[in-house]
């Protein structure tokens, strides 16, 4: 597996005669890799001749400096994990390499992400999706992958990426992979490494409640059932719910009870703080 730290190294790899013209699948990550990331690598290798994974903790998508400073970085373990997969190369640039300085300058432009920026993650993490769009715009234009692979775990991010590709005519096929979970149901996340033992023990309640709701919600009981789940979670000593909502799976507008839940395009979304670590999850309504 090639380890590429600069655009120049990446360009050389792509331009070697044996690589030229081969389809490239791209899996962008922020590292601290787990089985969810690896499943995207596996998906990419089924569909593309070569797979490039990036590891870049992108400062412009963090809206809290403390979250950025505490984000787990496990470079050597990440390489070891990637070597067990069909990943051909890993791109692991510095902040300087990407943004031209050790601290990124102001955003050169604003991306029109429409309503995606004013609901759920967009509303609760101001600037987050602008940062995501900024880095992916750079990556997609310079790497020129045929396909890029993203997890449903970050469901709203997938919509942002699709919108970016469409509005900027980036010509990258976006492929989604299902959320991978720990045996107790907790969605795998790099941030799980930061949970205290008590929070790790309590955090599976997030998916337990989402799953329970997905089976019991009706147009009549939904406000009370959502409230009940928020109560269940907030009663855990380490958990604090930021939001737990039913929203449209494409537009992310909130459910208002006027249409059938089970036939409609509705999905459950949650953001919960666990011992101060912000976790997100989502689930279809069965």
Contacts of 236 (CB under 8 A, 6+ apart): 202, 205
Q: Which lies closer to ligand AMP via its Cβ, residue 85 or residue 222?
A: 85
Strand blocks (E) in the chain: 2-4, 24-29, 50-55, 89-91, 147-151, 173-177, 239-248, 266-274, 277-284
Q: Which lies closer to ligand AMP via its Cβ, residue 194 or residue 226?
A: 194
**Binders in 149-168 for ligand AMP, by CB under 6 A:** 150-151, 153-154
Catalytic (active site) residue 110: no
Q: Which lies closer to ligand AMP via its Cβ, residue 61 or residue 214?
A: 61
CA atoms of 10 and 142, how far apart (whole Å): 10
Query: Do residues 143 and 51 touch, judged by C-beta distance below 8 A?
Result: no
Nearest approach, Cβ of residue 91 and ligand AMP (Å): 13
Output the 3-class SS for 203-228: CCHHHHHHHHHHHHCCCCCHHHHHHH
Nearest approach, Cβ of residue 22 and ligand AMP (Å): 23
- Describe the strand order of the beta sheet including 173-177 as a list of residue ranges: 2-4, 89-91, 50-55, 24-29, 147-151, 173-177
**Binders in 16-45 for ligand AMP, by CB under 6 A:** 29-30, 36-37, 39-40
For 120: left if phi > 0, alpha if psi spans -120 to 50, otherwise beta; the answer is left
User: Does 214 participate in binding ligand AMP (rule CB under 6 A)?
Assistant: no
**Which of 77-85, 98-106, 148-156, 244-252 is the region at the interface with ligand AMP (rule: CB under 6 A)?**
148-156
Nearest approach, Cβ of residue 179 and ligand AMP (Å): 4
Phi, psi angle pair for 179, to nearest 5°: -75, 130
Nearest approach, Cβ of residue 35 and ligand AMP (Å): 8
Choose which of 179, 214, 229, 282 interacts with ligand AMP (CB under 6 A).
Answer: 179
Choose which of 189, 192, 214, 282 interacts with ligand AMP (CB under 6 A).
Answer: 189
**Which of 99-107, 119-127, 133-141, 187-195 is the region at the interface with ligand AMP (rule: CB under 6 A)?**
187-195
Nearest approach, Cβ of residue 142 and ligand AMP (Å): 19
User: Does 188 participate in binding ligand AMP (rule CB under 6 A)?
Assistant: yes
Residue 260, burial from CB neighbour count under 10 angstroms (0-12, 13-18, 19+): exposed
Query: Do residues 197 and 273 touch, judged by C-beta distance below 8 A?
Result: no
Q: Which lies closer to ligand AMP via its Cβ, residue 145 or residue 261?
A: 145
Active-site amino acid positions: 37
């Amino acid at each position: 597996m090639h380890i590429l730290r600069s655009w120049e190294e990446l360009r050389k790899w792509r331009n070697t005669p044996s690589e030229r013209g081969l389809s490239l699948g791209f899996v962008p990550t922020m590292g601290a890799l787990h089985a969810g990331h690896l499943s995207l690598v596996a998906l990419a290798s089924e569909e593309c001749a070569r797979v490039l994974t990036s590891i870049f903790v992108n400062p412009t998508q963090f809206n809290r400096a403390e979250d950025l400073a505490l984000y787990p970085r496990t470079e050597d373990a990440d390489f070891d994990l990637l070597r067990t997969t069909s990943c051909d190369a890993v791109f692991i640039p510095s902040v300087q390499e990407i943004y031209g300085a050790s601290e990124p300058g102001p955003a050169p432009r604003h991306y029109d992400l429409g309503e995606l920026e004013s609901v759920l993650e967009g509303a609760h993490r101001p600037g987050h999706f602008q940062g995501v769009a900024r880095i992916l715009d750079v990556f997609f234009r310079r790497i020129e992958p045929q396909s890029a692979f993203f997890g449903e775990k970050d469901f709203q991010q997938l919509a942002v990426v699709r919108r970016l590709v469409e509005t900027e005519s980036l010509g990258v096929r976006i492929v989604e992979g299902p959320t991978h979970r720990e045996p107790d149901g907790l969605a795998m996340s790099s941030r799980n490494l930061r949970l205290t033992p008590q929070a790790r023990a309590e955090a599976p309640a997030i998916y337990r409640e989402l799953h329970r709701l997905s089976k019991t919600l009706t147009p009549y009981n939904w406000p009370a059932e959502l409230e009940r789940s928020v109560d269940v979670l907030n009663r855990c000593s380490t958990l604090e719910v930021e939001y737990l909502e039913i929203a449209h799976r494409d537009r992310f507008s909130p459910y208002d009870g006027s249409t059938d839940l089970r036939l409609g395009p509705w999905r459950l979304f949650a953001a919960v703080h666990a011992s101060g670590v912000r976790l997100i999850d989502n689930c279809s309504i069965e």
